[in-house]
Chain A
Amino acid sequence: MGKVVFDVQYQTTLAFLISYYFYFTGLSAGSFMISTLSYGFGLEKFKPASKMGVVTAVLLLFLAPQFLLMQVCWPVKSLWHNFVHLNPISAISYGSFLLVLYPLNSIIYGIFMFKENKKWTKIFGLIGIPLALAVHGYTGWILAFGVARDYWNTGLMPIVFLFSAMVSGISMMILMIMIRDRFFTKEKVINHDLIDSLAKILGWLLLVDLFLVFCDYSVLLYSKLEAQEVAHFMLFGKMSFWFVIVENLIGKVIPMAIVMIPGMRKSYFWLILAALMNMAGILVMRVVTVYGGQALPLM
């Protein structure tokens, strides 16, 4: 109604770095889950992915927090203040512990796996699953507890984050297994069964992920003004290219179609394309959620 003559702009400081942090913890949690399928749940056909999964999970977990530390203005101070002056009701506090416990557990789990100690691998794998869920789920809680922003403040947020973590993790594993089998094994043949099973899981998870997005947006559009405005901003406004086209069409719908159609799934060309598109789409999803969720001025 009114024309703004003077107002002060909110400094949008949480943008790319924190999105990369969420992205890489997601990839780590996703690849960890794959690695537990055989040792934790006894699904033998996923065994060739286990070692790669755990090594990737650990390496990514050293990379991911670097972005977090770059985002924080006082990285060194934060390393100990987060423990010494801990506030138990802040979502960031859970992360400090999870980011220590989860890599430690993954390393122990990996060591037992490489020693072929089935029993202890299983135990640490099963301990690792709730940790992996928590380490990624808590990033969703961080946003969900930011009650000022309707885009974040939903109970779906941790679940949306978990699913996007799993799909991007599986896409990455598919690509890495292909590269390993093709170039770094004696036989130089790709383990087709494994890739095919992972691709099938990817398809179903993408379907759930899209369903969650649908649930989220249907409620946003029906909800109070602020929620409607942010949904509008994402669907039809300036963010629509990134949200609708890149995140959902390129990142989820097309890859899902590819892995759901058997003829296309069996073709390595299409499968590689689907995995790459999905990984890119999830990266964009992190930026859309973190930055897009707070781009609209609140008052």
Chain B
Amino acid sequence: MSNPHKNEKNGDKNLPRWGMLIDLDRCVGCHTCEIACKFENDVPLGIWRSWVKEIEKGKQPNVVRSFRPTLCNHCDNPICVKVCPVHASWQREDGMVMIDPHLCVGCKYCMASCPYEVRYIHPQKGIIDKCDFCSTRVDAGLQPSCVEACPASARIFGNLNDPKSELAKLVATKPVSTLKPEMGTGPRVYYVSLDNATMEIKREAKLIWEK
């Protein structure tokens, strides 16, 4: 019955609560964050911890591309942590949602439950993997790799509990939105100027038995 991760989120305001804001007015859709994440975290081919969904809308000559950089939202009420049968998905007291590779049995329940589809099976390790806000870098006082790499400074990472931090100020003063707030997960990745068209629900899918 043991949960090895005693230090779960306890709402202590003196502790940091990490979050991120992505300003899509600044984003140029260069996919640098995607590549930086791949390098930093040694993400295998064919899967992504962080990626930029890119869509094109309109008719020539009025065409525009919209972007939706996607990563784990490090939710405040993470469904992936609730459903994990073995406490392998867990939340640090600073809000980061982590995966304990020693505990995970690879049942994939969390993958199917995450409303943002940001989890994947690591092909070599056979366990679940996803963005961890570059926790080792953050613990060492650095910024997550994608934030540091972004040439447009569209990503701002910081402590939501510190009202003086740039992130907290922006979240308080800008019109921000989160992905699927109706899921009740409380995402802590905020977007400015998010285009609804990047979140369209599709009616058809490629089935696994289709070539």
| A interface residues (Cβ-Cβ under 8 A, vs B) | 1-8, 10-15, 71-75, 77-78, 81-82, 84-87, 89-93, 96, 142, 145-149, 225-226, 229, 232-233, 237-239, 291, 294-299
Q: Which of B83, B179, B200 contacts A2 (CB 8 A)?
A: B200
A-B contact pairs, 20 of them (CB 8 A): A2-B66, A2-B200, A3-B57, A5-B54, A5-B55, A8-B51, A73-B105, A73-B107, A73-B126, A74-B104, A82-B86, A87-B84, A92-B83, A93-B85, A142-B109, A146-B112, A147-B115, A148-B79, A296-B204, A298-B201
B55 touches A297 (CB 8 A): no
Whether A146 contacts B109 in the complex (CB less than 8 A), given A85-B4, A229-B203, comes out as: yes
Q: How far is the CA of A225 from the CA of B182 in the complex (A)?
A: 13
| Cβ contacts under 8 Å, B202 to chain A | 229, 296-297
Name the residue of chain A whose CB is nearest to the CB of B128.
Answer: A73
A232 touches B3 (CB 8 A): no
| Cβ contacts under 8 Å, B106 to chain A | 72-74, 78
B203 touches A74 (CB 8 A): no
| Cβ contacts under 8 Å, B2 to chain A | 84-85
| Cβ contacts under 8 Å, B1 to chain A | 84, 86
B86 touches A85 (CB 8 A): yes
| Cβ contacts under 8 Å, A93 to chain B | 85
**Is there a chain A Cβ closer than 8 Å to B108's Cβ?**
yes
A2 touches B113 (CB 8 A): no
**Is there a chain A Cβ closer than 8 Å to B149's Cβ?**
no
| B interface residues (Cβ-Cβ under 8 A, vs A) | 1-4, 31, 47-48, 51-57, 65-66, 68, 70, 79, 82-88, 103-109, 111-117, 120-121, 126-127, 179-180, 183-184, 195, 197-205, 207-208
Contacts A15-B208, A81-B103 known; 17 new A-B pairs at CB < 8 A: A3-B55, A14-B111, A77-B105, A78-B86, A81-B105, A85-B2, A86-B85, A87-B3, A87-B86, A90-B85, A146-B83, A147-B113, A148-B79, A238-B205, A291-B208, A296-B203, A297-B201
* Nearest chain A CB to B44 CB, angstrom units: 12
Whether A226 contacts B201 in the complex (CB less than 8 A), given A2-B57, A90-B82, A298-B117, comes out as: yes
| Cβ contacts under 8 Å, B31 to chain A | 6
Q: How far is the CA of A12 from the CA of B82 in the complex (A)?
A: 20
B82 touches A89 (CB 8 A): yes
Q: How far is the CA of A70 from the CA of B88 in the complex (A)?
A: 19
* Nearest chain B CB to A45 CB, angstrom units: 42
A14 touches B108 (CB 8 A): yes
Q: Which of A14, A91, A298 contacts B116 (CB 8 A)?
A: A298
Q: How far is the CA of A13 from the CA of B108 in the complex (A)?
A: 7
* Nearest chain A CB to B208 CB, angstrom units: 6
Q: How far is the CA of A160 from the CA of B91 in the complex (A)?
A: 34
Q: How far is the CA of A4 from the CA of B108 in the complex (A)?
A: 27
| Cβ contacts under 8 Å, A226 to chain B | 201
Q: Which of A8, A78, A148 contacts B112 (CB 8 A)?
A: A148
Name the residue of chain A whose CB is nearest to the CB of B31.
Answer: A6
Pairs A-B, 10 closest by C-beta atoms: A73-B106, A2-B55, A73-B126, A92-B85, A78-B105, A2-B57, A148-B115, A10-B117, A5-B54, A90-B85
A145 touches B113 (CB 8 A): yes
Q: Which of B48, B116, B121, B203 contacts A233 (CB 8 A)?
A: B203
Q: How far is the CA of A43 from the CA of B120 in the complex (A)?
A: 51
Name the residue of chain A whose CB is nearest to the CB of B113.
Answer: A146
| Cβ contacts under 8 Å, B82 to chain A | 89-90
* Nearest chain B CB to A138 CB, angstrom units: 12
A294 touches B112 (CB 8 A): yes
Name the residue of chain A whose CB is nearest to the CB of B204.
Answer: A237
Q: How far is the CA of A7 from the CA of B70 in the complex (A)?
A: 10
| Cβ contacts under 8 Å, A74 to chain B | 104-106, 126-127
Q: How far is the CA of A8 from the CA of B105 in the complex (A)?
A: 24
| Cβ contacts under 8 Å, A96 to chain B | 85
B126 touches A8 (CB 8 A): no
Q: How far is the CA of A94 from the CA of B155 in the complex (A)?
A: 41
Whether A233 contacts B183 in the complex (CB less than 8 A), given A5-B54, A13-B121, A92-B107, comes out as: no
B79 touches A5 (CB 8 A): no
| Cβ contacts under 8 Å, B107 to chain A | 71-73, 78, 92
Of listed B88, B114, B207, residue having the most chain A CB within 10 A = B207
| Cβ contacts under 8 Å, A8 to chain B | 47-48, 51, 53, 70
